[in-house]
């Protein structure tokens, strides 16, 4: 059975946990507490030199890090990855957008607030993060105005990747009031059979 | 023919330009000057709402942004993307690592220095960027100690994605003296048939 090293409350860790549940696929879960340094031990760094979660352990003992690479691995051959070349590239387009333009702004501010580590240096970075986060939300809103899902006619791993930190964006001070298309899309993800909330194992 | 919207000196734009040349595949090139705001015009934003380069225009007029998604699109069915599911996921693992842990540190500092826009606020962020950049280089060095390429036995788009900003890392103050395995890998990429330097069209 596949094994997932995970930290509840991390959106990146939630992504594969949500996909496992949407697929109805059982998995082993190993909870690690990143705030207690459990991803920086020599034992964990031997599994993932980058010291981050989530991490997927395959049945043969291979370790696969990076939340979006894990999503891609799990989704191949399922309805969550398009069957055509352009569709697959567009799914990746949104997943790279998520890791570059969305997560470093929205998820990072949420983390600072949630874990009470908003130092003066970080406080000074808030305006730039807020501008970047709202720019990303604007791009998403614009894209969703006339479509239900990010790529194609059904939910894909692009939606899962973007859902993870968008649905908790208000916890980082990013209110979604002005993004009606995003809010309608969040409702569609929430309604998917097998959906679980971020804090559920 | 495929058309690439590009900015010379951008490593992200260099990635697809390098792959086109390695594949021996002709393409149209449209040069844009990001420093003159040419990627923020209404005309360009209609092509890519995120306002970034590179951007690939397909023969049917579809636009595909995000350098690593473009690489994936171009590489499908070629020797630069592995044929097995785990290999493809590992290629993506390194490409997400590049966009999250490498580019925001190494490429961003190089950009600040090259374009003389190192404000006092950015100056204050330098230690964190330098620590993050060297952490990423350390992960790469560690991985390359006993292998020639990031995934499998031949060059893949994971190598192209990571090469783009690693080979110019010294321009951002990231000296590669202490990374012998990385330097040997840079030489291997340089020796690939069809290789072009970053400033070559």
Residues A93 and A171 in one domain: yes
State percent of chain B over pLDDT 70.
100
Domain boundary at B75, B109, B138, which? B75
Domains in chain B: how many in total?
2
Give residue-wise pLDDT tens across range B143-167. Answer: 999 999 999 999 999 999 999 999 9
Residues B103 and B180 in one domain: yes
Residue A59 tokens read as 């049945």
Give me the pLDDT at residue A9, please.
82
C-alpha to C-alpha distance for B61 and B19, rounded to whole angstroms: 21
Confidence of residue A161 (pLDDT cuts 50, 70, 90): very high
Residue range A89-101: mean pLDDT, rounded: 97
* Cβ within 8 Å of A, B 6-65: 49-50, 58, 62, 64-65
C-alpha to C-alpha distance for A40 and A36, rounded to whole angstroms: 9
Give me the pLDDT at residue A135, please.
96
Give residue-wise pLDDT tens across range A10-50. Answer: 999 999 999 999 999 999 999 999 889 999 999 999 999 98
Handedness of CA A79, A188, A16, A179 (dihedral sign): positive
Residues A141 and A94 in one domain: yes
* Nearest-CB residue to B69 (from A62, A67, A92): A92
> Concatenated DSSP letters for B153-175?
TS--HHHHHHHHHHTTGGGGT--
Q: Does A87 touch chain B (CB under 8 A)?
A: no
Sorted by sequence, the CB contacts under 8 Å of residue A92 that are 6+ apart come out as A72, B66, B68, B69, B72, B92
Question: Who has greater pLDDT, A200 or A70?
Answer: A70
Determine the distance in angstroms separating the CA of A189 from the nearest CA of chain B, rounded to an integer. Answer: 23
* Cβ within 8 Å of B, A 93-132: 93, 95-97, 99-101, 103-104, 121, 124-125
Cβ–Cβ of A49/B93 closer than 8 Å? no
Residue range A84-100: mean pLDDT, rounded: 97
Cis peptide bond prior to A54, omega within 30° of 0: yes
Residues B70 and B91 in one domain: no
Domain that holds residue B19: 3-75
Residues B19 and B92 in one domain: no
Residue B150 tokens read as 């990031």
Confidence of residue B172 (pLDDT cuts 50, 70, 90): very high
Domain boundary at B45, B75, B105, which? B75
Give me the pLDDT at residue A101, please.
95
Give me the pLDDT at residue A8, please.
84
C-alpha to C-alpha distance for A27 and A46, rounded to whole angstroms: 22
The ipTM of this complex is 0.95
Task: Give contacts of A73 with chain B, Cβ < 8 Å.
Answer: 85-86, 88-89
**CA B113 → CA A37, A86, A101, B60, B169, distances in Å?**
34, 36, 22, 39, 11
Residue range A170-186: mean pLDDT, rounded: 97
Determine the distance in angstroms separating the CA of B107 from the nearest CA of chain A, rounded to an integer. Answer: 13
Give me the pLDDT at residue B9, please.
82
Residues A62 and A89 in one domain: no
Residues B41 and B132 in one domain: no
Give residue-wise pLDDT tens across range B32-80. Answer: 998 899 999 999 999 999 899 999 999 999 999 999 999 999 999 999 9
* Nearest-CB residue to A89 (from B72, B85, B104): B72
The answer to the question of residue B131 being in a domain is: yes
Task: Give contacts of B90 with chain A, Cβ < 8 Å.
Answer: 64, 69
Q: What are phi and psi of A65, to 5 degrees?
A: -95, -175
Sorted by sequence, the CB contacts under 8 Å of residue B4 that are 6+ apart come out as B13, B16, B17, B20, B27, B28, B29, B30, B54, B55, B56, B57
The partner residues of B4 in beta bridges, in order of sequence, read: B29, B56
* Nearest-CB residue to B96 (from A58, A66, A89): A66
Residue range B186-192: mean pLDDT, rounded: 98
Number of C-beta neighbours around residue B146 at 10 A? 7
Sorted by sequence, the CB contacts under 8 Å of residue A131 that are 6+ apart come out as none
Give me the pLDDT at residue A122, please.
86
Residue B65 tokens read as 């942004």
With 0-12 CB in 10 A as exposed, 13-18 as middle and 19+ as buried, what is A118? middle
Give residue-wise pLDDT tens across range A125-156. Answer: 899 999 999 999 999 999 999 999 999 999 99
Cβ–Cβ of A93/B139 closer than 8 Å? no
The answer to the question of residue B196 being in a domain is: no
Q: What is the CATH number of the domain that holds B134?
A: 1.20.1050.10
Size of interface A-B (CB pairs under 8 A): 96
Q: A151 near A90, Cβ under 8 Å?
A: yes
The answer to the question of residue B32 being in a domain is: yes
**CA A137 → CA A13, A44, A56, B50, B191, distances in Å?**
21, 34, 29, 11, 42
Task: Give contacts of B76 with chain A, Cβ < 8 Å.
Answer: 85, 88-89
C-alpha to C-alpha distance for B23 and B75, rounded to whole angstroms: 9
């Amino acid at each position: 059975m596949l094994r997932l090293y995970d930290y509840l409350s991390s959106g990146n860790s939630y992504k594969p946990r949500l996909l496992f549940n949407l697929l109805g696929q059982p998995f082993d879960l190993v909870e690690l507490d990143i705030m207690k340094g459990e991803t920086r031990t020599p034992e964990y760094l031997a599994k993932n030199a980058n010291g981050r979660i989530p991490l997927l352990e395959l049945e043969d003992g291979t370790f696969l890090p990076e939340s979006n690479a894990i999503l891609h691995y799990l989704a191949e051959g399922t309805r969550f990855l398009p069957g055509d070349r352009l569709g697959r590239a567009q799914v990746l387009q949104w997943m790279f957008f998520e890791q570059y333009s969305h997560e470093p702004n929205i998820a990072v501010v949420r983390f600072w607030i949630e874990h009470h580590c908003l130092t003066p240096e970080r406080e000074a970075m808030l305006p730039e993060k807020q501008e970047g986060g709202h720019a990303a939300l604007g791009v998403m809103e614009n894209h969703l105005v006339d479509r239900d899902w990010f790529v194609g006619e059904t939910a894909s791993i692009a939606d899962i990747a973007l859902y993870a930190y968008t649905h908790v964006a208000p916890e980082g001070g990013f209110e979604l009031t002005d993004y009606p298309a995003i809010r309608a899309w969040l409702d569609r993800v929430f309604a998917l059979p097998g959906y679980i909330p971020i804090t559920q194992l």
